[in-house]
Amino acid sequence: MTALKNDTFLRALLKQPVERTPVWMMRQAGRYLPEYRKVREEAGSFINLCTHPELACEVTLQPLRRFAFDAAILFSDILTIPDAMGLGLSFSEGEGPQFARPITSAADIHNLGIPDPETDLRYVIDAVRLIRRELNGSVPLIGFSGSPWTLATYMVEGGGSKSFRKVKALMYEQPALMHVLLEKLAESVAAYLNAQIAAGAQAVMVFDTWGGMLTTEDYREFSLAYASRVAALLQTEVNGQRIPTILFTKGGGLWLETMTEAGYDALGLDWQTDIGLARARVGDKVALQGNMDPVALYAKPDIIAEKVKTILEKYGAGSGHVFNLGHGILPDINPEHVGAMVEAVHRFSPAYHRP
């Protein structure tokens, strides 16, 4: 494989010295880009876009042609694993993901198999290989998966939810059965991420989108424990190179101290968490990623630059910070505002990394 020309992102995740704070953006390949919308229209559906490696590669690379991001992230969806388990994933315009065959019984859970990434999810692994080749060492490639808990919520609810009534009912009324489901998902997520790493992903991220919907006790038992199980199963060294790992729990700011024990190199922060206080709380145990409010990108470029400066100031001097949004970019953001954010990170962050 070609040597990396820009490894700032990887070094920051490992808390190694860097010349400036690296920056990338959740959902950086997405609907805010007109070139993405064009390819999405030509693909005919979001599913087609995800399942054709050439198209997934193209949209992964699009933001890097516009902006000086320090990492690319695989274009895919967090629900590929349950789809490979046979639940029948589809996307309805304006309604989000839906499963044709959600989990409704103990038998459904016991009958679930662990997908083989090289066969059942071959389109994702092929996309990783293709993207890695096309990047040609310019920046690292991030692989990802949904967390076991987050995948379980969609599988039991049949789609998105506001109350999480069904999955919480399973958790409260049949906790042993819930653990069976989560253990299968932890094994599946680890196998999936390991296959992405083997195919060329140079860092991996676990998106625990719905962990923040739980109580503190339930988060530890049903979400964090299985994210930790995934971390323990990951192959995080390839040819002598460390593969950094990131855990992002939306709404998880209350639990940062506990999250540092889960085995990840970095924790993602949503925008509701003060990054300076977060750094004081986690100490040197992990790096931090985040955490600008995505809505701030609607503001004028000079205001965006001030928001960037504030986050950098709050984190302070030294490595261990990857600049990002506190959640994914919204689809109607002006791309020029993204450019203003990236430029501001590049302009202001070197001052925090001088010897």
Spatial distance between the Cα atoms of 287 and 227, rounded to a whole number of angstroms: 17
Q: Could you report the per-residue pLDDT of 236-283, keeping only the tens digit for each?
A: 999 999 999 999 999 999 999 999 999 999 999 999 999 999 999 999
Query: Looking at 11, 27, 132, 279, which residue is catalytic?
Result: 27
d(CA 296, CA 79): 28
Look up 27 and say whether it is catalytic: yes
Annotated catalytic residue 354: no
Q: How confident is the model at residue 92 (pLDDT cuts 50, 70, 90)?
A: confident
Examine the pLDDT at 352 and tell me if it is beyond 80. yes
To the query of whether residue 279 is one of the catalytic residues in this protein, the response is no
**pLDDT over 90 at 1, yes or no:** no
Q: Report whether 327 contacts 250 (CB < 8 A).
A: yes
Question: Is 229 an active-site residue?
Answer: no
Asked if omega into 136 is within 30° of 0 (cis), the reply is no
The catalytic residue among 11, 70, 120, 154 is: 154
Q: Which of 79-88, 92-101, 192-201, 317-326 has the lowest mean pLDDT?
A: 92-101
Select which of 11, 20, 40, 229 is catalytic.
40
- With cut-offs at 50, 70 and 90, classify the pLDDT of residue 11: very high
Q: Distance between CA atoms of 321 and 253, rounded to whole angstroms?
A: 16
**Residues in contact with 295: Cβ distance below 8 Å, sequence separation at least 6, in sequence order:** 330
Distance CA 164, CA 215 (A): 13
| Catalytic status, residue 77 | yes
**Helix 165-173 and helix 148-157, axial crossing angle in degrees, nearest 10:** 110
Residue tagged active-site, from 7, 77, 126, 270: 77
58/49 Cα distance (integer angstroms): 10
Q: Which domains does the chain have, with CATH numbers?
A: 8-352 (3.20.20.210)
